[in-house]
């Protein structure tokens, strides 16, 4: 074999080129603050995309993880794992659910939910009922099935045929959901508030109608609470705001506080098809993850914690609303629940995110030209005030650009 005439240039990095990363790195964190190797402080209102729910280096979580690390890390699901049994008991006691399967991520938790819903109809003698209705703007993960569930063309392109059995309907349109139900429908899968889709809440009454539709047609209602769960919206589960309960629910992001952990919760009835051998995982629910998950619950389920999240979220939204009034040329709306907050931007989101980063405030983008604020649930007014100061400074920095745009128009 002859060597190629020209050696291709080496890439700058040996990593897959899948992320458009900011040119920033952090070496340590404490609470809502993270620090670069040079010691520069940034206020973290992205919290690893709603993952660091209790802030960085939370002493309760550090103690739980290090204590477990000195005992046993991994045994596999060939054996009983007491931490799993305890965490599952606590999650079911706090919810509609009777059964829990632990995974390592949101997409995996959703895969379990999809399999559970399909298997339920299979054991009921209806293998043809495997279709799942999802909502436009949804995000359910990046595996082949969850991509099909999310239905976003830009994420599906180039990866072969879209996984079969997912039907998508327009956002918030109950008549469209009704029209999409067929004898092949197994379930409806929905985020209580769309996170990646732009912190979008559904119209009042939407979930009650969904529940009624499911009951009338023998469908399972699946709620993806990977982003909204474990206190993010000021309730332990966001479905508690809707007045109905799902049959299956998924968690990830916040439940591990930064340790990879996902969970699929189901009623006894919905989970009845998931018998030995039907599903599995090597890493899911390992003792390290369980130690951290249980410690997260110790904090989030403590008296007054969720009240604090709701109060802080309200204060943040009030202060943001005042900013929006003053800087309508940059931002024109606030939405969300608890500490899942969306700021609708007039200017392109990447520019707003960059302007905030220049003020040392970390946030996340989302669909529909929305900037997402997902701070640790442990913040108080001090951190909110600091963030508002930075957002205001960013608005001033962006204002000349907005004026230029107006002059050009």
Ligand X SMILES: *Cc1c(COP(=O)(O)O)cnc(C)c1O
Report, in Å, the least distance between residue 191 CB and ligand X. 5
Q: Scan for tokens 């990593």, then name that residue.
A: 15
Which of residues 169 and 324 has its CB atom nearest to ligand X in the complex? 169
Q: Where are the alpha helices (DSSP H) in 98-205?
A: 106-123, 144-150, 153-156, 174-180
Report, in Å, the least distance between residue 272 CB and ligand X. 25
Report, in Å, the least distance between residue 226 CB and ligand X. 4
Which of residues 58 and 105 has its CB atom nearest to ligand X in the complex? 105
Task: Specify whether the CB–CB gap between 280 and 111 falls below 8 A.
Answer: no
Report, in Å, the least distance between residue 227 CB and ligand X. 3
Report, in Å, the least distance between residue 248 CB and ligand X. 13
Which of residues 199 and 324 has its CB atom nearest to ligand X in the complex? 199
The two structure tokens encoding residue 313:
């979220």
Which of residues 193 and 214 has its CB atom nearest to ligand X in the complex? 193
Which of residues 97 and 388 has its CB atom nearest to ligand X in the complex? 97
Question: Can you give the binding site for ligand X, defined by CB under 6 A?
Answer: 105-107, 110, 139-141, 191, 195-196, 224, 226-227, 252-253
Report, in Å, the least distance between residue 349 CB and ligand X. 17
Task: Specify whether the CB–CB gap between 359 and 371 falls below 8 A.
Answer: no
Sorted by sequence, the CB contacts under 8 Å of residue 11 that are 6+ apart come out as 17
Which of residues 140 and 235 has its CB atom nearest to ligand X in the complex? 140
The two structure tokens encoding residue 13:
């990095």
Report, in Å, the least distance between residue 396 CB and ligand X. 32
Which of residues 83 and 106 has its CB atom nearest to ligand X in the complex? 106
Q: How far apart are CA 118 and CA 163, in angstroms?
A: 14
Residue 67, SS3 per DSSP:
helix
Q: Scan for tokens 């005992």, then name that residue.
A: 71
Please give the full DSSP string across 362-394, using - where no structure is assigned. Answer: E-EEETTTEEEE---TT--HHHHHHHHHHHHHH
Which of residues 107 and 339 has its CB atom nearest to ligand X in the complex? 107
Report, in Å, the least distance between residue 259 CB and ligand X. 12
Q: How far apart are CA 267 and CA 61, in angstroms?
A: 29
| Residue at shortest CB range from ligand X | 106
Q: How far apart are CA 242 and CA 274, in angstroms?
A: 27
The DSSP element (H or E) to which 202 belongs, if any, is none
Task: Specify whether the CB–CB gap between 308 and 336 falls below 8 A.
Answer: no
Please give the full DSSP string across 330-350, using - where no structure is assigned. Answer: TEEEEEEETTEEEEEESS-HH
Q: How far apart are CA 109 and CA 348, in angstroms?
A: 33
């Amino acid at each position: 074999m002859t060597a190629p005439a020209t050696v291709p240039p080496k890439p700058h990095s040996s990593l897959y080129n899948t992320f458009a990363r900011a040119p920033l790195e952090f070496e340590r964190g404490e609470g809502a603050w993270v620090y670069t190797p040079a010691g520069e402080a940034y206020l973290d209102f992205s919290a690893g995309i709603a993952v660091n729910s209790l802030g960085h280096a939370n002493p309760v979580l550090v103690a739980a993880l290090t204590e477990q690390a000195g005992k046993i890390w991994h045994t596999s699901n060939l054996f009983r794992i007491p931490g799993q049994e305890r965490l599952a008991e606590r999650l079911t006691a706090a919810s509609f659910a009777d059964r829990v399967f632990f995974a390592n991520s949101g997409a995996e938790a959703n895969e379990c939910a999809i399999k559970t819903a399909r298997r339920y109809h299979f054991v009921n003698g209806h293998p043809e009922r495997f279709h799942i209705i999802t909502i436009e703007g949804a995000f359910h993960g990046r595996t082949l099935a969850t991509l099909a569930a999310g239905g976003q063309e830009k994420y599906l392109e180039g990866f072969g045929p879209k996984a079969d059995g997912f039907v998508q309907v327009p956002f918030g349109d109950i008549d469209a959901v009704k029209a999409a139900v067929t004898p092949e429908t197994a379930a409806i899968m929905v985020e209580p508030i769309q996170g990646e889709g732009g912190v979008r809440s559904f119209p009042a009454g939407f979930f009650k109608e969904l529940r009624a539709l499911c009951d009338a047609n023998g469908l399972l209602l699946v709620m993806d609470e990977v982003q909204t769960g474990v206190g993010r919206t000021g309730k332990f589960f966001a479905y508690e705001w809707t007045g109905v309960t799902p049959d299956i629910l998924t968690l990830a992001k916040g439940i591990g506080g930064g340790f990879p952990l996902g969970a699929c919760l189901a009623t006894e009835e919905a989970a009845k098809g998931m018998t030995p051998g039907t599903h599995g995982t090597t890493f899911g629910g390992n003792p390290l993850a369980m130690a951290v998950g249980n410690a997260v619950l110790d904090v989030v389920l403590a008296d007054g914690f969720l009240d604090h999240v709701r109060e802080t979220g309200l204060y943040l939204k009030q202060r943001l609303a005042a900013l929006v009034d003053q800087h309508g040329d940059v931002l024109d709306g606030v939405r969300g629940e608890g500490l899942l907050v969306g700021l609708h931007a007039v200017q392109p989101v990447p520019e707003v995110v960059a302007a905030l980063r220049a003020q040392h405030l970390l946030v996340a983008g989302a669909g529909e030209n929305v900037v997402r604020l997902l701070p640790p649930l442990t913040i108080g007014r001090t951190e909110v005030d600091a963030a508002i100061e930075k957002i205001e400074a960013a608005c001033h920095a962006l204002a000349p650009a907005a004026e230029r745009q107006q002059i050009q128009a």
